[in-house]
Structure 1
Amino acid sequence: MFFHKTPGIVRWLYPQLTWHIPSENAQTIYLTFDDGPIPGLTDFILDTLDQFDAKATFFCVGENLRKHAYIAESAINRGHTLANHTYNHLNGWKTDFEKYIENVKRCQDELDGLGQRAKILRPPYGKISRKQISALNKEYHIVMWNVLSGDYSMKINPERCLKQTIKATGNGSIVLFHDNLKAQANVKYALPAFIKHFHELGYQFKSICMN
C-alpha cells in the first residue's frame, strides 16, 4: 500500500526534510526519477523530457552510475541534475549507521567524478533513521517527495498511475517516478501524458537546485 499524496502527518514529523518546493511566481513541478541510470528506460525518459524542454532530477544509485556513466553524462549534457540515492540502494532502517553513511559517500564520489558536486540526497524507499538524518543534514539536502506515482507497483495499471499522479500534483510538487525495469510499463505510458497535461496548463518542469 502507498499514498499517491504524501500524508501531512509524515511531512510534519520530518520538517527537516524537503517535501515540496513552493513557488509564488510560476506554476512549477519538480520531476524526479529514482534508481537509474539504466539503458533503455533512462534514455526514453531523457528523450521524453527533451520533447517538452522539461528538466528533472535523477536520484542515481552509485553502482548504476559506475556501470552506465555514459547515460549519466547524457543527462548532464541535457541540463538535468544528478543526485545521490546511495551506492547500493540501501534501506536506512535496516543498515548499520556507519555503513549507511559510507555508502552515501561512495555514491557522492561517483557524482563528484561526473562534475555533480551539489549534495542532494534521497534515501531509498524513503527510509532513513533520525540519527542518519542528523548526521547527513550537515552536508546534504535530503529531498523526499509529496507525489508518488506508484509506477513500480504491480497492483497499479498505467491508466491509474497517470490519473492518480495528475490528481495529486500541484504547484511546487516534487513528483517521484522511477527509472528501473519494474516501473517501465507505467512510466512509458504515464510520463509523456503527465508532462503533456501540465505543459498545456502552463506549468514549468525544473530540476532541483539547492544551495
Structure 2
Amino acid sequence: MYLVKSPLLLKWFYSALIWNKSRSKKIVYLTFDDGPIPNVTDFVLNTLKSFEAKATFFCIGDNITKHPEVFANVKNAGHAIGNHTFNHLKGWKTNDETYIANFLQCQQLTQSNLFRPPYGRIKKSQIKKLRTVYTAQSANLNPQTTNANLQIIMWDVISYDFDARLSPEKCYQNVIRNTKNGSIIVFHDSLKAFDRLQYALPKTLKYLSEKGYQFGTL
C-alpha cells in the first residue's frame, strides 16, 4: 500500500511543518531529494529548463562535497536549495545530538532556511532543537536577518520514483492524479530513481503545464 498523499492524521500530528502551500493559487512546487549527482541532476535541470520551470532541491551535504560543480549548476539555474542532512539520516533512528550536528554540517554548504527530513521521519524533539540552533546561528551570522525561521518542508504528493517495484507510468500517475493547487511534489534526483524519473518528470511537466499550473520555488 502506497500513501501517495500525506495522511491527514500525520499532517495534524506534525501541524507545525509545511505540507502544502496556498490552495487558492494555481501553483505547484516540484521538489527533488537526495542530489546533487552527475547525469541525474543534470537531466532534471535540462528538463526543467525546457519547460521554463523552477523547483526546489533538497541536497545531501555529502553529495554537495563530492559534486560541487553540479551543485553550482543548480544554484546558477535559479532553483531554490534546501538542507537534507549531510548523510541522509533517518531521524527516528538517530539521537538528537547526532541529527543536529549532521544538519549543521550540511547547513554550512546549503546556507538555506529550508529543511526536509530524509524519509520524512523526524522526532518532535529534533524539530524543536533544529529551530533553536538555526535561529541562533542566523542571529550570529546576521543580527538584522529577516529570515530567522527554519521552514521544515514535507509534501502532500510523492511520486515513489525511488521504488523499483513501480512502473514509470505508475509514478507519473501517482503525481497527476493527486496534484492540486499548492501541492508540494516529491521526486528524487538519485540513481535509484532515474529510470522512473526519466519517464515521469517530462510527462508531469507537460501535463501540469497544459492544465495551466505554474511552478514555484519554496
Q: Which residue of 2 aligns with 1:67?
A: 66
Q: Which residue of 2 aligns with 1:51?
A: 50
**What amino acid does structure 2 have at the position aligned with 1:88?**
N
Pairing 1:188–2:187 present = no
Cα deviation, residue 160, structure 1: 0.9
Pairing 1:119–2:113 present = yes
Deviation by residue 1:117-168 (Cα, 9 ceiling, x = unmatched): 3321000001111100111134321100110100001221001111121001
Q: Which residue of 2 aligns with 1:87?
A: 86
Pairing 1:159–2:158 present = no
> 1:97 & 1:134 partners in 2: Cα distance?
10
**What amino acid does structure 2 have at the position aligned with 1:10?**
L
Partner SS state of residue 33, structure 1: strand
Partner SS state of residue 175, structure 2: helix
> 1:160 & 1:34 partners in 2: Cα distance?
19
Q: Which residue of 2 aligns with 1:197?
A: 207
> 1:6 & 1:23 partners in 2: Cα distance?
15
Instruction: Name the TM-score, length of structure 1 as normaliser.
Output: 0.93
**What amino acid does structure 2 have at the position aligned with 1:43?**
D
Unaligned runs of 5+ in 1: 112-116
Instruction: Name the TM-score, length of structure 2 as normaliser.
Output: 0.90
Cα deviation, residue 202, structure 1: 1.0
Identity %: 47
Q: How many residues align?
A: 202
> 1:13 & 1:2 partners in 2: Cα distance?
20
Q: Which residue of 2 aligns with 1:28?
A: 27
> 1:156 & 1:92 partners in 2: Cα distance?
26
> 1:40 & 1:23 partners in 2: Cα distance?
34
Q: Which residue of 2 aligns with 1:114?
A: none
> 2:107 & 2:174 partners in 1: Cα distance?
33
Pairing 1:78–2:77 present = yes
Cα deviation, residue 94, structure 1: 0.8
Aligned residues: CA RMSD? 1.0
> 1:163 & 1:97 partners in 2: Cα distance?
37
* Paired residues of 2:83 and 2:112 also in contact (CA < 8 A): no
Cα deviation, residue 23, structure 1: 4.7
Which of the residues 167, 173, 176 maps onto 2:186? 176
Deviation by residue 1:70-100 (Cα, 9 ceiling, x = unmatched): 1111111111011100000001111111110
Unaligned runs of 5+ in 2: 135-149
